Structure 1
């Protein structure tokens, strides 16, 4: 494959930012060739804004387009499973926005469908592919801060007026929306190891989803982690890894890190400037996950080693357990 032809599924805010991020990559490597939304008018406006040649008023039509190599799925959380299944059954490779699905059972179903159709599937955990994140993994492998003893990650932004963050039918809740970033950070540091113990405490909104959650994870060899998330207030949104010989910290935006402080010394990893205004901070950093998809497709891989199906399943399993303890139940949990 020379150029990767992308289809964009859903014309919302995150799809806008992803499309802008793709434009920071060489056009001979990445091209957006089609966009689909359930509302044709929205898809047409999106296509006009981003100069996309083909427009569809249904995801079904997008799935049938033979000239698409991979589809970016930017729909709301509860639609990830049905839309993912539709696309993969049409033999489309997919990069699906996080969370990959609503629970572990749905994640396992998506992975099974990907394997059955022999297509590539990756959860769009963009954090994992930032240069700063690759550097964290490199430093940990070199034992730069000694033995890691404690990891803390927090993410809180006031989103109580954002329906998709608070409505149960839209897959709302602090954990699925933003807490997942804290958990994935911990799992990245501890290299995908399954925790021995998960303890969660939280506060729920009257919509039945979690407003705030604190999750404590215990790993082998007495290593701990704490994840804090809330959609009710602004938190420092940093992360810190404490080892026996030093610390690595992400001072801000731990979910899209552009600087690292290693034993007191700070290094910047800026992301490219966007050509259109963005909806979310550092969104051009989605270019790194897009390039990872391209590299995997070039090597005919069906998953990424940095955000494998096993990583996505473990994330979902931990979130299921945390939700169970806090009492957050989605309709998808009963199916």
Structure 2
């Protein structure tokens, strides 16, 4: 249930920009900063949101980050950031294992939050964080950008039109060679391919299936030397005789393709992590239609705009990624890891 919060109403009534602060100063934080700079220069977003502050555990690092992106305020601790009354929205850009703790810190300080995927390390953490969010009445939403992009609506509209008939199978993959990043291989940081890259093909399938729960799951996984999952294949069986396969790896590169197979043709989406084009083929493999995807700033602008607008509207969740969807995906990944007998040290 959405709850009106005073901060959102104040921003709406006084016409103020939603001031966003970035918690963390790593790679994904840099991408978000670049996005906000472009949004501030874009007439579609310039009166909606602004990049106000950044915080890192090291003040020098925060200062360097702020100087690089022209951010007005930098903090050397997260506690200082959430104590700033000017902050309306905090984007949490740290490793998965820290999201629950830092999300709670923000909410209890009265800050709305946009939490980078995966939302938390497991479903129990997600449930606990969302309980705090519900009590606070503040916005709490997961920043998985594909849920907010225009390509999602394009795909849904095409499927609903019946252009490929009844959907009977889905195949999606996302693979990047990223074992060089320490957080990806560290069990203590909830490392592994599943929570970082595998979450995208799973979300791709979940969006097509309208949030249906699979009746049965079969999985296979190859472990990395540290014990986390290096690559995997997951087959999900749904009511109506629909089968979906999700593949991911942190060892290899892949075509990142999302394919939807129907009784009268099939659809191919280039790059499930950020759909670039959608091609429709008939039963004879002839290209019937090519659907372009709108140009974007970076792709992250949609989740930021959705979160900012939700705050102004006094809503506690975004319709693009409601809390139930976050919980379902977290539960699905827990179910998959249970099949692998893979747990993190803190669980």
Tell me the TM-score normalized by structure 1.
0.93
Contact 1:44-1:55 within 8 A present in 2 as well: yes
Match of 1:258 in 2: 276
Match of 1:209 in 2: 228
Q: CA deviation at 1:142?
A: 2.9
Contact 2:55-2:77 within 8 A present in 1 as well: yes
> Which of 211, 218, 224 is the aligned partner of 1:192?
211
| Matched residue SS, 2:138 | coil
Q: CA deviation at 1:82?
A: 0.5
> Which of 235, 244, 251 is the aligned partner of 1:232?
251
Match of 1:285 in 2: 299
Match of 1:172 in 2: 191
Match of 1:269 in 2: 293
Q: Deviations over 1:30-55 (max 9, x none)?
A: 10111111111111011001111111
Structure 1 Cα separation of the partners of residues 296 and 245 of structure 2: 31
RMSD between aligned residues: 1.3
Q: Deviations over 1:273-306 (max 9, x none)?
A: 5xxxxxxxxxx11011111112222322111122
Match of 1:112 in 2: 131
Match of 1:135 in 2: 154
Contact 1:198-1:318 within 8 A present in 2 as well: no
Q: CA deviation at 1:164?
A: 1.2
> Which of 79, 93, 115 is the aligned partner of 1:60?
79
Q: CA deviation at 1:270?
A: 5.1
Does the C-alpha gap of structure 1 residues 32 and 140 become closer, same or farther in structure 2, counting only changes over 3 Å? Answer: same
Match of 2:309 in 1: 295
| Matched residue SS, 2:279 | strand
| Matched residue SS, 1:28 | coil
Q: State how many pairs are aligned.
A: 322
| Matched residue SS, 2:300 | helix
Match of 2:240 in 1: 221
Structure 2 Cα separation of the partners of residues 141 and 111 of structure 1: 32
Structure 1 Cα separation of the partners of residues 346 and 110 of structure 2: 25
Q: Deviations over 1:232-260 (max 9, x none)?
A: 11111110111222222212x21111211
Q: How does 1:304-315 map to 2 (within 5 A)?
A: 304-315=318-329
Match of 1:332 in 2: 346
Contact 1:163-1:170 within 8 A present in 2 as well: no
Q: CA deviation at 1:153?
A: 0.6
Q: Deviations over 1:85-125 (max 9, x none)?
A: 00011111110000000001011111111101111111101
Structure 1 Cα separation of the partners of residues 162 and 304 of structure 2: 29
- Greater Rg over alpha carbons, structure: 2
Contact 2:188-2:346 within 8 A present in 1 as well: no
Match of 2:25 in 1: 11
Q: CA deviation at 1:329?
A: 0.8
Structure 2 Cα separation of the partners of residues 332 and 268 of structure 1: 44
Match of 1:281 in 2: none
Q: CA deviation at 1:262?
A: 2.5
Give the 4+ runs in structure 1 shifted more than 6 A.
Answer: none
User: Which consecutive unaligned segments of at least 5 residues does structure 1 have?
Assistant: 274-283
Structure 2 Cα separation of the partners of residues 138 and 67 of structure 1: 40
Structure 1 Cα separation of the partners of residues 239 and 254 of structure 2: 29
